[in-house]
Amino acid sequence: MTATYDDYKNTSTLSWSKDGITVDRTLYLRAATEIDCRVLADCPQRNDALATSGGSDALNIYCSDVTISSVSDAAAKDGLFLWEVKAKYEPLSASNPTVNKAKWSVGFRPQQINVRGVNQESLQAHYGLSGSDASEYPPVTTAINVTEEGPQGVDIDEMVEVLTIDFWKAPDDAGTFLTAVRTIKNCVNVSALTGPWGTYAAGECRITGVTVSETKGEVATISVEISISRNEADVTVFLDSIDAEVIFPKGGWEYLWIRFIKANKQDDVDVRPLAIDVHVATLYASGDYSVLGITGDIWQ
């Protein structure tokens, strides 16, 4: 026997998982074709948000899959057939990404940083000798650890804090976003970068990696790696040349080095090298991290 339309009301049911964060939703809609059904205002769409219960702990979950099938034993009404629509809602994850959302993580790892040259836009700050006393030892402004073979640079091993952000973008928007990220690669942040991790002050961030891939549902994942080196407000160095300490600030990604000279022997006894002056070198250009589009509403 063919069922009547009244046997299938336009209803919606929810089935919650035990932890309350995975939901299966079923509803019935009438449309002439499956395609027409998919574009109805009441038909769930992938990436639709659904708020779970939990008061202040409420969590948005997102539609990860929609399936539509005809109800074959339901009678047509006014040329419209009955369709069963099933939607699954889950938290955001790598397997269930949602466009224009993002996730983040912070870790620590050893990293070797090669310091070779000075950013020519701002060169170096110089502390210590001044006036006529400095004329004998002019500041170095071009490269670091220069030998007869040219600039050798130095390698610095340190434990670095790393912030990784996975931005989920529609494939059509991925190219534009990636172009914006390229403008700040290997640059330090010109202003503070704030998020769920806290705040990184200007000069503490440097983009050290970018990867692009496609995940479920043809959502492009652009993963941006930001290495953190903290600023220091008051660095103290004793200089033999002025027989006093100098106190100065150092940006997180600036390079501090001290110039020494050999001292003349005293009574044929070698004397330790003498600290002449301090240089704080700017190694990287500054970039505007606002192109990342980090706002409070992109996080799950």
Cα three-residue angle 56-58-63, rounded to 5 degrees: 165
Q: How far apart are CA 224 and CA 180, in angstroms?
A: 12
Q: How far apart are CA 204 and CA 202, in angstroms?
A: 6
Which pLDDT value is given to residue 4?
46
3-state DSSP of 89-139: EECCECCECCCCCEEEEEEEEEEEEEECECCCCCCEEEECCCHHHHCCCCC
Which pLDDT value is given to residue 67?
92
Q: Is residue 214 part of a domain?
A: no
> Where would I find the H helices in 155-261?
171-182
pLDDT tier for residue 53 given thresholds of 50, 70 and 90: low
* pTM exceeds cut of 0.85: no
pLDDT tier for residue 272 given thresholds of 50, 70 and 90: confident
pLDDT at 121 over 70: no
Beta strands in the chain (DSSP E): 12-16, 23-31, 49-51, 60-70, 81-90, 102-115, 124-127, 146-147, 150-151, 154-169, 188-189, 193-195, 198-200, 205-215, 219-228, 232-239, 244-250, 254-261, 274-282, 286-287
Q: How confident is the prediction for the chain on average, in pLDDT? A: 82
pLDDT at 10 over 60: no
> Which residue has better confidence, 42 or 136?
42
Q: How far apart are CA 48 and CA 64, in angstroms?
A: 8
pLDDT tier for residue 62 given thresholds of 50, 70 and 90: confident
SS3 232: strand
Q: Is residue 65 part of a domain?
A: yes
Amino acid in position 274: L
Q: Which domain holds residue 79?
A: 5-90
Q: How far apart are CA 165 and CA 196, in angstroms?
A: 11
pLDDT at 41 over 60: yes
User: Mind listing the pLDDT tens digit for each residue in 132-172?
Assistant: 666 666 666 556 676 777 667 778 788 889 999 999 998 88
Place of tokens 């490269």: 143
Amino acid in position 23: V
> Are 279 and 139 a contacting pair, CB within 8 Å?
yes
27 secondary structure, DSSP code = E
Q: Is residue 83 part of a domain?
A: yes
118 closest CA partner among 231, 280, 233, 248: 280
Q: How far apart are CA 25 and CA 46, in angstroms?
A: 13
Domain count, the chain: 1
Averaged pLDDT, 189-208? 95
Q: Is residue 245 part of a domain?
A: no
Which pLDDT value is given to residue 141?
56
Q: Is residue 69 part of a domain?
A: yes
pLDDT tier for residue 55 given thresholds of 50, 70 and 90: very low
Q: Is residue 147 part of a domain?
A: no
User: Mind listing the pLDDT tens digit for each residue in 218-238?
Assistant: 788 999 999 999 999 999 999
Averaged pLDDT, 88-92? 82
Strands 188-189 and 286-287 turn out to be parallel
pLDDT at 18 over 60: no
87 closest CA partner among 43, 118, 122: 43
Give me the sign of the Cα torsion angle 184, 190, 194, 200: positive
Q: Is residue 284 part of a domain?
A: no
Averaged pLDDT, 63-67? 88
Q: Is residue 74 part of a domain?
A: yes
How long is the chain?
A: 300
Which pLDDT value is given to residue 287?
94
User: Mind listing the pLDDT tens digit for each residue in 240-266?
Assistant: 888 899 999 999 999 888 888 887 777
Which pLDDT value is given to residue 192?
97
> Which residue has better confidence, 21 or 37?
37
SS3 266: strand
> Are 205 and 197 a contacting pair, CB within 8 Å?
no
> Burial code of 193-210, b = ≥16 C-beta within 10 A, e = fewer?
bebeeeebbbbbbbbbee
Distances (CA, A) of 212 to 64, 92, 168, 175, 177: 21, 18, 10, 10, 11
